[in-house]
Amino acid sequence: MIASVHGRVAAVSPDGAVVEVGGVGLAVQCTPGTIARLAVGEQARLATSLVVREDSLTLYGFADDDERQLFELLQTANGVGPRLAQAVLAIHPPREVRRAVSMADVKALMQVPGIGKKGAERLILELRDRLGTTATDTQLDGPPLPAGAAPLTPVAPWRDQLSSALVGLGWSSREADTALAALTPVADEQLTSTGRVDVGSLLRQALQLLGRS
C-alpha cells in the first residue's frame, strides 16, 4: 500500500495532480479542496490510498491521514465505492461527515451527488458506530461541536486557496482575481448559511466562469 507521497507538484488538473517522487510522476486523484492547497513547483505531502481493480490502479490523495482513513472507512458501507467516498469528502470535511452521521443528518448527506435519501439512511445505519472523533479533530479544531453547530472554515483563507488553485491550473493572477471578485457573493452566502466556505465548490464554479470567458 502507498500510504503517502511527498515531492514536487509537477501538474495540477481539476480532478487531481501529478507529484514527482524519486523521478517518477505519480497521478493522484484529489478532491477540489485538496487541489486548492497545491501549487505547481512547490513541495507537497499527500496521504494516499491505492485502489486496485482488475484493469486499473488508482491512487487517491488527501490533505491529511484522517481524511484518508475516513475515505477508506466510508467504503466499508454497502454500495459505497472510491468515487462516491471521494465525492462525500469533496462536499464535506471529515468532521462534518462525522457530525452528519452521528446526528442522523440525512439532508447533509444528500447534498453529495449520488446519495439519495435511502443511501443516506443506509450510511447512517452502517457507519454510526464506526465513526468517531480523532486526535486530529481535537488538536486542530478544538472540542467536538455541539449539536447543530456548523463546521469550521478551512485553516487557509478561501481567497488564497482558490487563487493558488487557479494559478496552479494555468490561469493568470488577473484571471484568478476576476473569478474571486465574481464568486465573493457566493462565498459570503455560504458563510452566512453554513458557517464555512466550500472552496471545492468555488473552484468548480471558477473554472466554469473562466472557461466561458
Domain harbouring 165, CATH code: 1.10.8
Burial string for 179-192 (b: 16+ CB within 10 Å, else e) reads bbeebeeebeebee
Q: Do 203 and 189 sit in the same domain of this protein?
A: yes
Q: What is the pLDDT along the chain (213 residues), one digit of tens a residue?
A: 788 999 999 998 878 999 999 999 999 999 888 888 888 899 999 999 999 988 889 999 999 999 999 999 999 999 999 999 998 888 888 888 999 999 999 998 988 878 899 999 999 999 988 886 433 444 334 444 444 433 333 334 678 777 877 776 677 888 888 998 999 999 889 888 877 777 777 887 888 888 765
Per the domain annotation, does 36 fall within a domain?
Answer: yes
Among 23, 44, 62, the domain boundary falls at 62
Q: Do 8 and 40 sit in the same domain of this protein?
A: yes
DSSP state of 198: -
Q: Do 49 and 86 sit in the same domain of this protein?
A: no
Per the domain annotation, does 128 fall within a domain?
Answer: yes
Q: Do 91 and 56 sit in the same domain of this protein?
A: no
User: How far out from the chain centre does Cα 175 lie?
Assistant: 24
Q: What distances in angstroms separate CA 4 from CA 23, 26, 65, one per listed residue?
A: 16, 11, 9
* CATH value at residue 96: 1.10.150.20
Indicate whether this model's pTM tops 0.85. Answer: no
Q: Do 72 and 56 sit in the same domain of this protein?
A: no
**pLDDT of amino acid 197:** 78
Q: Do 120 and 84 sit in the same domain of this protein?
A: yes
The C-alpha cell that represents 157 in the structure block = 483563507
Domain total in the chain: 3
User: How far out from the chain centre does Cα 210 lie?
Assistant: 21
User: How far out from the chain centre does Cα 133 lie?
Assistant: 18
Give the structural domain span for 20: 4-62
Among 45, 62, 79, the domain boundary falls at 62
Q: Do 57 and 78 sit in the same domain of this protein?
A: no
Per the domain annotation, does 99 fall within a domain?
Answer: yes
Q: Do 55 and 69 sit in the same domain of this protein?
A: no
Q: Do 72 and 94 sit in the same domain of this protein?
A: yes
**pLDDT of amino acid 14:** 77
Distance between CA atoms of residues 19 and 6, nearest Å: 7
Per the domain annotation, does 173 fall within a domain?
Answer: yes
CA nearest neighbour of 184 among 173, 200, 171, 197: 197
Q: Do 189 and 168 sit in the same domain of this protein?
A: yes
Q: Do 50 and 77 sit in the same domain of this protein?
A: no
